[in-house]
Structure 1
Amino acid sequence: MRFKHRYFLCELVLEDPRQRHVITQGTVYHNVKEIVARLHGDFGVAAVSVALSVKYLNAYTGIIFIRSLKNYHKILGSSLPFITSLENRGQRYPCFINTLHIAGTIRSCQRFLIQYNREQLDRLLRNCTNPSEKENIRQSIVSCTLKSVEESEFTEDEEME
């Protein structure tokens, strides 16, 4: 039997963005489990814990991929907005987690993220006043393709071997 999953593409917004490097995948995992337990009790945490994992966390951009079972993804999705801070080694970091997209595969989340970043760059382009800033943002928009992401992941995998 195959287990179906749902992937949450989330954005971690910290009150002080300089503290992003302190947040780890384990920190997010334990805080998510804690909020699910507080909101949905023993059943909620047991249902979500079966396949809950933080697949990816980018400390620079604050992007997070969280995996859950398809049958219980609504429990996880209803709990994420209630995270107001993350606790790591006795320190509390005020934040919130913004869910950008929910999909059945990581690949579709990546496609959405590329499109989302392209739209954000377009917004920045409209607000630019300096011609050199506009050119830098245009170059970023041009380089924002799925093919370049796949190639960079492929080269990283080769370097690891």
Structure 2
Amino acid sequence: MVRFKNRYITVEIMASDIPELKPLSLKSKIFHDTVLNKIQQLHGDFGSAAVRTGFLTKYCNENTRIAIIRVRHGPHHFVTSALPFITKIGKLDIRLKTLHVSATLKHSFKFIQKHQRAYLDKMWSKLKTEEEQKMLEAAVMDFTKTDVAINIENIS
């Protein structure tokens, strides 16, 4: 039996048109298809075929604008090389920034937790009431939009 290694690519979606506090209207299926189309455009049939097996968008948070892509080890280089060339998802003008590449989903979530905690610290100074701060924290630290159920408290 052969064990397949995966890589989890954590990506930040930056949209200059939409303010930071407003969530993006972005579905993981549209994001997934856009990445595959760009890989097809840049790397042709070979790159597309290599990536398709095991390619999945595991997590896409519209509030924090962070997504996690799962791809097999090896063809993950096709994905990481194609991400900077994606400038439009649906009708949104965006830029993608690769934040982290890890071997496990657990390490990706650890990285996201640290990244989002820093984001919260930066955004809390802009909010006026404590209620707004709690609502922002609930939205940012929401990891339930994943296909895999992971208890975040056990990670720390």
What TM-score range do you get, normalising by the shorter chain? 0.7 to 0.9
Structure 1 SS opposite 2:151: helix
Kindly state the Cα deviation for residue 131 of structure 1 after the two structures are TM-superposed.
9.8
Corresponding position of 1:9: 10
> What stretches of structure 1 of length at least 5 have no aligned partner?
154-161
**Looking at both structures, which has the greater relative contact order when contacts are Cα pairs under 8 Å and sequence separation is at least 6?**
2
Q: Distance in 2 between matches of 1:94 and 1:130?
A: 27
Contact map agreement 1:12 1:62 (CA 8 A) in 2: yes
Residue identity in the other structure for 2:37:
E
Contact map agreement 2:10 2:108 (CA 8 A) in 1: yes
Corresponding position of 1:72: 75
> What stretches of structure 2 of length at least 5 have no aligned partner?
142-149
Corresponding position of 1:20: 24
Deviations 1:39-95 (A, max 9, x none): 1111011101111110111111111010100011111000001000012xxxx2110
Residue identity in the other structure for 1:119:
A
Normalising by structure 2, we get a TM-score of 0.74
Cα distance change, pair 41–122 in 1 and its aligned pair in 2 (3 A): same
- Give percent identity, aligned residues only: 30
Query: Greater share of helix residues, 1 or 2?
Result: 1
Corresponding position of 2:110: 111
Q: Distance in 2 between matches of 1:84 and 1:75?
A: 17
Where has structure 1 moved over 6 Å in runs of 4 or more? 129-133
Q: Distance in 2 between matches of 1:151 and 1:109?
A: 11
How many residues are paired up? 135
Q: Distance in 2 between matches of 1:132 and 1:19?
A: 20
